Chain A
Amino acid sequence: MIAKLAWRNIWFKPLNTILSIVLLTSSVAIITVLVLLEKQFEEKFSSNIDGVDLVLGAQGSPLQLILSSVYQVDAPTGNISYDSAKVWMQHPFVKKAIPLAFGDNYRGFKILGTTPDYLEKYGAKLSEGKLFEKNFEVVVGSEIAQKLNMRVGDEFFGSHGDAIEGEVHDHYAYKVVGIAKETGKVVDNLILCTIPSVWQMHGGHEEENPEHGEEGHVHSDAENDLTIDKPGMEITAVLLQFRNKMGIIMWPRIIAQNTKMQAASPAIEVNRLFSLFGVGIEALRYLAYGIMLISGISIFIALFNTLKERKDEFALLRVNGAKRMQLLKLVMIESLLLCVVGFVFGTILGRVALVLISNASEEDFKLGFNPYEFIWQKEGVLFLLTITVGIVAAIIPALKAYNLNISKTLANA
């Protein structure tokens, strides 16, 4: 009955209530989005660098090299000579070296020349078909297969470079021989083939477009079926995993000093990226806490103001047999109801916002977020924080109700 009265009371002054709820909702929503985004973002970024100690690539921005070769979200820094890369790939320190050659795209999805080790590194098993062996055989990532409805046996032509509108390479068709299982990592959004496929695809038409020589784009002039052993070819980057951890520290300097290549550490670059993001996320977080503080003040003011007009009501409740404690409870429950409603709306709104963000980032970066994930620990803390705001905001009004002098109130009314 007290809870019912509290519920009726908060809706008796709908404007005050809506203001408080809107403020609470927005702060909870912002924090929810941040919590989910941060966790899922870090998970995605961290899971993709598992097993990559260094990335060998052309000179330029190390962050760009990592973003392009590990996350497939940026343009590559350029090409490196496969022959000179091999020297490092075969070094005894190296446990595994996965070469990457960026090729064309199919409807905006990158076609990446590599070795089957790449699939293995991401733990991507095949759900259908077999691995690529011959040139122009491709394994398609699970998300592409789903979105473009591709099956084993399908054939398609790639478009040049990484723009969907690029020139169509119609002299060789790619053939789907396998479809990878979902991994939640970048490989879901890639089409994988052998490195010689990429070389061969661009062989010959060099003369038709002599002026085009985009960075990070592998070309060759051979006409026959190429093999990986062909000398004088270029690739885009190499993902290196070390047997001897010394290499991780030593190599970036050695390579920078002795070759035209660079070796960048994904862990360092990703940390750098996070610390850049971190400033923004931190600022947003403070903003959200600020809004929560304001919503607390708004609840306090609303309760405090109505207390004045509701003195008579409280006195009346006491005359009818209500105990002091029940009045205290009434005020507390009113405040907590606002907080719970605000929290529920905020949690929902935050997820709606995440769906929108996810749709946009999916389109731009092939990076999706899961709005249905609940991070119980952090969101639980957020819930407790919201409740605490409610309790703190209600303390003074509740104590005033508790200490109300009934006789004086009624005599002055």
Chain B
Amino acid sequence: MIISAENITFSYSKEQLFLMPNLYCSAGSTILITGDSGKGKTTYLHILAGLLKPTTGKIMIDGTNILALSESKNDKFRGQNIGVVFQKSHFISALTVLENLEMASWLALGKKNTARAITLLQQLDIARQANKLPSQLSIGQQQRVSIARALMNEPKVLLADEPTSSLDDKNADKVIELLTSLSKEYKAALIIVTHDARIKEKFINQITLV
């Protein structure tokens, strides 16, 4: 198992307690986390990414218990081992597409990996947009840049939060196909949080939050 999460509980307030189901995922495979709004899908994803500390539980990623890490070690670990794709693409708007990708490798590894950024952009068929500002790209292209950025540092785990909900059918298909094929290629565990029916039918491994 490249990632496992056990006995995770979390609460924003005393009245509301989330009991998260256990999760195990190996390299190159995919797990879908589904459930209605307000059931804590995004919360679970943030916990897995180390962005939120759960009340109890244990998360092992590639042999490291991320909940035991100090904050700055956690930041570093996340940068190097976890790639995240969001529902809406976020970018550093003052930097070009290529620089956005370079920034991801610089923050995690301390050096710019331009070659890898260009390879990924070519693989995702957006190499021609490399020197544009993110705001000049279409939403479909932006989402592909997000995927490229999430894969910049060859992460062990790729987390995707509603990656298709703002896309049309064609782009949604394309994004899902890219996520699965690339996570296989780079041997990353892919965890997708979604309530998008278009995706649900494509995957067998599903965890539903109730």
B84 touches A319 (CB 8 A): yes
B75 touches A323 (CB 8 A): yes
Task: Give Cα A321–Cα B103 distance, bound, in whole angstroms.
Answer: 10
At the interface, yes or no: A9 with Cβ under 8 Å from chain B?
yes
Chain A residues in 8 Å Cβ range of B107:
1, 317, 320-322, 326
A318 touches B75 (CB 8 A): yes
A407 touches B78 (CB 8 A): no
Which of these, A1, A8, A312, contacts B90 with CB under 8 Å?
Answer: A312
Task: Give Cα A322–Cα B80 distance, bound, in whole angstroms.
Answer: 11
A407 touches B51 (CB 8 A): yes
* A321/B51 contact (C-beta < 8 A), A8-B94, A312-B90, A313-B90 known: no
At the interface, yes or no: B95 with Cβ under 8 Å from chain A?
yes
A93 to chain B, nearest CB (A): 76
Number of residues from A at the complex interface, CB < 8 A: 25
Task: Give Cα A296–Cα B44 distance, bound, in whole angstroms.
Answer: 42
* A321/B95 contact (C-beta < 8 A), A411-B42, A413-B90 known: no
Chain A residues in 8 Å Cβ range of B75:
318, 321-324
| Interface contact tally, CB-CB below 8 A | 76
Within 8 A of B (CB), among A1-29: 1, 5, 8-9, 11-12
Chain A residues in 8 Å Cβ range of B43:
407, 411
B51 touches A410 (CB 8 A): yes
Nearest opposing residue in chain B for A1, CB measure: B106
B132 to chain A, nearest CB (A): 14
Task: Give Cα A5–Cα B112 distance, bound, in whole angstroms.
Answer: 13
Which of these, A9, A313, A413, contacts B88 with CB under 8 Å?
Answer: A413
Within 8 A of B (CB), among A284-326: 312-313, 315-326
Task: Give Cα A315–Cα B88 distance, bound, in whole angstroms.
Answer: 13
Task: Give Cα A123–Cα B94 distance, bound, in whole angstroms.
Answer: 62
B93 to chain A, nearest CB (A): 6
Chain B residues in 8 Å Cβ range of A324:
71-72, 75
Chain A, 393-413, contact with B by CB distance < 8 Å: what is the 0/1 string?
000000000000011001101
Nearest opposing residue in chain A for B112, CB measure: A1
Chain B residues in 8 Å Cβ range of A413:
86, 88, 90
B42 touches A5 (CB 8 A): no
A8 touches B88 (CB 8 A): no
B64 to chain A, nearest CB (A): 15
Nearest opposing residue in chain B for A319, CB measure: B84
Task: Give Cα A406–Cα B47 distance, bound, in whole angstroms.
Answer: 12
Within 8 A of A (CB), among B28-66: 42-43, 46, 49, 51-52
Chain B residues in 8 Å Cβ range of A407:
43, 46, 51-52
Which of these, A5, A315, A325, contacts B95 with CB under 8 Å?
Answer: A5
Task: Give Cα A325–Cα B76 distance, bound, in whole angstroms.
Answer: 13
Chain A residues in 8 Å Cβ range of B78:
319, 321
B94 touches A406 (CB 8 A): no
Chain A residues in 8 Å Cβ range of B90:
312-313, 315-316, 410, 413
Within 8 A of A (CB), among B87-109: 88, 90-95, 103-104, 106-108
At the interface, yes or no: B149 with Cβ under 8 Å from chain A?
yes
In the complex, which of the residues B43, B93, B149 has the most CB atoms of chain A within 10 Å of its own CB atom? B93
Residues of B that sit less than 8 Å from A by CB: 42-43, 46, 49, 51-52, 71-72, 75-76, 78-80, 84, 86, 88, 90-95, 103-104, 106-108, 112, 149, 161
Instruction: A5-B95, A9-B94, A320-B107 given; name 9 further pairs at CB < 8 Å.
Output: A313-B93, A317-B103, A321-B108, A323-B75, A406-B51, A410-B42, A410-B46, A411-B46, A413-B90
